Amino acid sequence: MSLDLHLPADARAVPVVLELHGGGWRVGSRAVFTPLVSKERSFDRIVAAGFAVVAADYRLSGEAHFPAQVDDVLAALDWIDMHAEEFGLDASRVVLWGGSAGATLAALAAMRRPQAVRGVIDWYGPADLFEMAAFTAQKGVDGAGTSREDLWLGAPVLSIPDRAAAASPARQAAAGLPPFHIAHGSADTEVPPVQSELLADALRAVGVDVELHLEPGAGHFWKGADDDATAALFDRAIAFAIRVTS
């Protein structure tokens, strides 16, 4: 596991955002918060709000299959706990923030270790792999193990239903989870917005505090959203992080 640490000036017991990049579990890097948003408008914006940001890499699907990536997120949480005093972090106030594939990992990690997380920010993440399999089939993916989800699991989703269910946050919702802030572009053609609606519904059904925002006209990675709209999306997420860590 590799990670980058972005710290506010004179960090002393500051809350932490553990950031997990997107890329279909196949590609991506901790260096990029989200592909269409600069460092200044992402990492720096969160740090300016008083958070430390731990941007963590995880093993990609070409190297390891689920649940290895969730294990890597839990290892990053362990790192925060072990190094909190050294870097001025408050390990009791951690928010997981992921985009796309990273959002799925953030949700699953919170479900594995809810006591270690104050909240989850889930941006346009796949939430139900069975529904994603149906969606990709409609797009012409042949179901022979070639979709992003298939490659992550190591076999076609529908051929390993138990593993696919375990990798689907909408099917793992349980009482006692931390609050969720979920945001999705209404025009997302990579991960349809119904994925976030399914997750929100599943969480609410077990009594979890959920915020759901659908951004009009935005695609995946907020494609099509202008700078003001993107800034507002960050502001909503940061306001949630402040609320759950206060």
CA gap 134, 14 in Å, rounded:
43
Dihedral angle over CA of 82, 69, 212, 226, nearest 10: 100
Count of domains observed in the chain: 1
Q: Where are the beta strands (DSSP E) in the chain?
A: 3-6, 14-20, 52-56, 89-99, 119-123, 180-185, 210-215
Low-confidence ranges of the chain (pLDDT < 50): none
Q: Is this prediction's pTM over 0.95?
A: yes
CATH number at residue 27: 3.40.50.1820
So what's the pLDDT on residue 144? 61
Let me know if residue 205 belongs to a domain: yes
Q: What is the rounded average pLDDT for all residues in the chain?
A: 96
Tokens (6 digits) for 69: 């990536």
Please report, in angstroms and rounded to a whole number, the separation of the first and last CA atoms in the chain.
Answer: 29
Secondary structure string (H, E, C) spanning 106-167: HHHHHHHCHHHCCEEEEECCCCCHHHHHHHHHHCCCCCCCCCHHHHHHCCCHHHCHHHHHHC
Residue 214 falls within a domain, yes or no? yes
Instruction: Dump pLDDT digits (tens) for 61-73.
Output: 999 999 999 999 9
- Structural domain includes residue 144: no
Per residue in 125-184, pLDDT tens?
999 999 999 998 887 655 566 899 999 999 999 999 999 999 999 999 999 999 999 999
Residue 148 lies in a domain: no
Contact by Cβ (8 Å): 76, 101: no
From the centroid of its chain, how far is CA 194? 16
**111 is in which domain, residue-wise?**
3-128+174-245
Task: Tell me if 18 is assigned to some domain.
Answer: yes
Distance CA 242, CA 184 (A): 20
Structure tokens at 59: 């093993």
